[in-house]
Amino acid sequence: MKQDFKMQGLSKLGEFLHQFLQNSEEEYSLEEAELFALMKKSEVENPWFTIENQRFCFKNWAETLKIENIKNWLSEYQVSHFSKKVGLILAGNIPLVGFHDVMCVILSNHIPIIKLSSKDRLILPFLLNKWGEFSEWNLEYQFVEKLSDYEAIIATGSNNTARYLEYYFKDSLSIIRKNRTSVAVLNGNETDDEIKLLAEDIFRYFGLGCRNVTRLFIPKDFELSKLFENFIEFKDVVNHHKYANNYDYNRAIYLLNQEKFWDNNFVMLKEDDALFSPLSVLNFSRYENMEDVKLFLNENEKDIQCVVAKPELEISDSIYFGEAQNPNLNTYADNVDTMRFLEVI
């Protein structure tokens, strides 16, 4: 019975976000006005969280949190009969990046003990409060400054932080997530519209997410101008002062070191085999044999969050252009099924 309230409440939260996005500022209810005020405050505290990117995030959740989606997702799992406290150390690189983990814990009938990121500390408490209200207060969760009372841990951090977390939580059941990035594989037959969708995968959230593409694989004779021509819709990213600082810095370093790069005044393309690229830089490599690309992807699987490519390339678990920032409910970070983990703690 409680689970039904939680699912219905989550669906109503999706409807609330949908209505919020439909309304103009003049039409906001008191609660919508409160949410918008928190969005503005979030952008002040963390300039990467622009209103546009926060709205994009809300749109994804509004489309995802439909009751049939929630029921289909949860039908694959067993709800725990005994509630346990699960510590969550949330990331803050893109808006609401930790919301999925919180949802998983609550819908598994456990209690999330949440340590928010200082970069994303305002919106999640508001949304959880709304979810609680829509669920007739059948939700249980806590926000803490320091984790102390927990029976399992889900934590996200950089590779350096993850080493510390793995040691600190070595005696606990845990999922410890590290740095990952995403790649795209082109076969040269992509339309302009498909490259424009790829630009969404690259530039959305300024490229700060683990699902943002930072490395391209392109055929040997692929014209780089085709990329630049279709990236132009995102030219305004360079008007953001923090992005511009990164762009100017990286460009200056490449010039000083006399490194070869291609530039269109808001993003640089660099021929480099590294998976991870600096912000404002997109690494690429040219290939002759698709099997070599697939071998590279397999060898670097632990560092790759998702692969963007056409289905015809038959790359396992790849997603289509423009889908990287629209994960489904059953899409799990680092390909570790959080719900399965929560079944057995």
The confidence score (pLDDT) of residue 132 equals: 98
Mean pLDDT of 206-215: 98
Stretch (H or E) spanning 304: strand 304-308
Residues in the chain: 345
Q: What is the pLDDT of residues 185-209, one digit of tens each?
A: 999 999 999 999 999 999 999 999 9
Identify the residue whose tokens are 């999922």. Answer: 175
Pair 13, 134: CB distance under 8 Å: yes
Give the percent of the chain with pLDDT over 90.
Answer: 99
Mean pLDDT of 318-323: 98
Q: What is the pLDDT of residues 215-262, one digit of tens each?
A: 999 999 999 999 999 999 999 999 999 999 999 999 999 999 999 999
Band of pLDDT at residue 294, cut at 50, 70 and 90? very high
- pLDDT of 1 over the 90 cut: no
Give the percent of the chain with pLDDT over 70.
Answer: 100
Instruction: Say if strands 142-143 and 181-185 run parallel, antiparallel, or are unpaired.
Output: unpaired
Instruction: Say if strands 213-219 and 85-89 run parallel, antiparallel, or are unpaired.
Output: unpaired
For the chain, list the domains and their CATH numbers: 2-179 (3.40.605.10), 181-313 (3.40.309.10)
Mean pLDDT of 323-336: 97
The confidence score (pLDDT) of residue 289 equals: 96
